[in-house]
């Protein structure tokens, strides 16, 4: 699982760079907000295929493609809530808080993406062992 998490983070770095590059290019011909939306959607599509192939080594499917944006929603919710709590409750500097919130969001987003993209739902080893013992 650690290897998957590292690959997931690497795909995240590629996804961020892809988004930024697309945004900057599209900004030359579109307004900034439309450039953001188009770049975000295109980067998310790329992220889906990279995560299927590289992170989780699974075949792309329409169902998982349609569900994959839930991992981005999860990331947004966790980082937003974390940012709010860090700044307003724990008095963390606003310039540092997003980095901390993002570091918490990565494993949570990973678990959601893993659940969506893998056909066999990953169970803890102890649960597999318990099933074998009962058989």
Give tens-digit pLDDT for 6-24.
Answer: 999 999 999 989 999 999 9
Phi-psi region of 123 (alpha: psi -120 to 50; beta: other; left: phi over 0): beta
**Which residues fall within 8 angstroms of residue 96, CB to CB, at 6 or more apart?**
none
Residues in the chain: 135
Integer Cα distance of 117 and 61 in angstroms: 9
**Domain ranges for the chain:** 2-124
Q: How confident is the model at residue 121 (pLDDT cuts 50, 70, 90)?
A: low
Q: For the whole model, what pTM was predicted?
A: 0.75
Integer Cα distance of 94 and 44 in angstroms: 27
């Amino acid at each position: 699982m650690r290897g998957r998490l590292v690959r997931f983070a690497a795909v995240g770095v590629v996804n961020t760079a892809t988004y930024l590059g697309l945004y900057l290019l599209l900004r030359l011909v579109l307004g900034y907000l439309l450039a953001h939306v188009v770049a975000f959607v295109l980067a998310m599509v790329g992220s889906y295929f990279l995560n299927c192939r590289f992170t989780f080594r699974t075949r792309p499917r329409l169902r998982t493609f349609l569900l994959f944006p839930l991992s981005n929603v999860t990331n947004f919710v966790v980082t937003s809530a974390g940012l709010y709590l860090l700044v307003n409750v724990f008095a963390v500097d606003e310039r540092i808080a997003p980095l901390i919130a993002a570091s918490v969001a990565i494993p949570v987003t990973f678990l959601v993406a893993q659940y969506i993209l893998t056909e066999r739902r990953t169970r803890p080893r102890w649960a597999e062992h318990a099933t074998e013992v009962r058989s």
